[in-house]
Structure 1
Amino acid sequence: MDIGLTVGVDLDRLAASPTRFDFVELGVGAGSLPPEDVDPDRLDDALAGRDLVVHLPYSQPLTSYADEINDAIVAYQRRLLTTVGDFGAEKAVLHATSADRDDVEFRDVAADQLRRVAAAGRDAGVEVVVENVGHQHGGLQLSVLGEIARETDTPICFDVGHAYMEGGNKAITRFLRSHGDRISHLHCHDVRRRGDTHLPVGAGEVDYEAVSAEAAGFDGTVAIEVFTDDDALLVDSAERVANHLDATF
Structure 2
Amino acid sequence: MDIGVTVGDDLERLASSPAAFDFVELGVGAGSLPPAEIDPARLERGLADRDLVVHLPYSQLLTSYAPEVNDAIVAYQRRLLESVGALGATKAVLHATSADRDDVAFRETAVEQVRRIVAAGREAGVEVVVENVGHQHRGIQLSILGDVADETGASVCFDVGHAYMEGGNDAIRRFLRRHGDQVSHLHCHDVRRRGDTHMPVGAGEVDYGVVSDGLDNFDGTVALEVFTDDDGLLCDSAARVADHLDVEW
Cα displacement string for residues 169-208 of structure 1 (whole angstroms, at most 9, x for unaligned residues): 0000000000001000000000000000000000000000
SS at 2:4's partner residue? strand
Aligned residues: 249
One-letter identity of the residue aligned with 1:190 = D
User: What is the rounded CA distance, in whole Å, between the counterparts of 1:37 and 1:210 in structure 2?
Assistant: 41
Does residue 128 (structure 1) correspond to residue 137 (structure 2)? The answer is: no
Report how far residue 229 of structure 1 moved.
0.2
Matches within 5 A, 1:32-43: 32-43=32-43
Does residue 17 (structure 1) correspond to residue 24 (structure 2)? The answer is: no
Matches within 5 A, 1:70-85: 70-85=70-85
Cα displacement string for residues 136-190 of structure 1 (whole angstroms, at most 9, x for unaligned residues): 0100000111111011111000000000000000000000000001000000000
User: What is the rounded CA distance, in whole Å, between the counterparts of 2:180 and 2:27 in structure 1?
Assistant: 25
User: What is the rounded CA distance, in whole Å, between the counterparts of 1:148 and 1:20 in structure 2?
Assistant: 35
User: What is the rounded CA distance, in whole Å, between the counterparts of 1:161 and 1:30 in structure 2?
Assistant: 25
One-letter identity of the residue aligned with 1:94 = L
- Name 1:7's counterpart in structure 2: 7
- Name 1:139's counterpart in structure 2: 139
Q: Could you state the TM-score of these two structures normalised by the residue count of structure 1?
A: 0.99
- Name 1:231's counterpart in structure 2: 231
User: What is the rounded CA distance, in whole Å, between the counterparts of 2:121 and 2:230 in structure 1?
Assistant: 33
SS at 1:236's partner residue? helix
Report how far residue 82 of structure 1 moved.
0.1
User: What is the rounded CA distance, in whole Å, between the counterparts of 2:24 and 2:37 in structure 1?
Assistant: 19
User: What is the rounded CA distance, in whole Å, between the counterparts of 1:11 and 1:112 in structure 2?
Assistant: 33
User: What is the rounded CA distance, in whole Å, between the counterparts of 1:157 and 1:182 in structure 2?
Assistant: 9
Does residue 173 (structure 1) correspond to residue 169 (structure 2)? The answer is: no
Report how far residue 248 of structure 1 moved.
1.1
User: What is the rounded CA distance, in whole Å, between the counterparts of 1:126 and 1:71 in structure 2?
Assistant: 20
User: What is the rounded CA distance, in whole Å, between the counterparts of 1:31 and 1:227 in structure 2?
Assistant: 19
Q: What fraction of aligned residue pairs are identical, expressed as a percent?
A: 75
User: What is the rounded CA distance, in whole Å, between the counterparts of 1:133 and 1:195 in structure 2?
Assistant: 15
Does residue 220 (structure 1) correspond to residue 220 (structure 2)? The answer is: yes
Runs of 5+ consecutive residues of structure 1 not aligned to the other structure:
none
| Off by >6 Å, runs of 4+ in structure 1 | none
User: What is the rounded CA distance, in whole Å, between the counterparts of 2:214 and 2:73 in structure 1?
Assistant: 35
Cα displacement string for residues 187-242 of structure 1 (whole angstroms, at most 9, x for unaligned residues): 00000000000000000000001111111100000000000000000000000000
Does residue 119 (structure 1) correspond to residue 119 (structure 2)? The answer is: yes
What CA RMSD, in Å, does the superposition of the two structures yield over aligned residues? 0.5
Runs of 5+ consecutive residues of structure 2 not aligned to the other structure:
none
- Name 1:100's counterpart in structure 2: 100
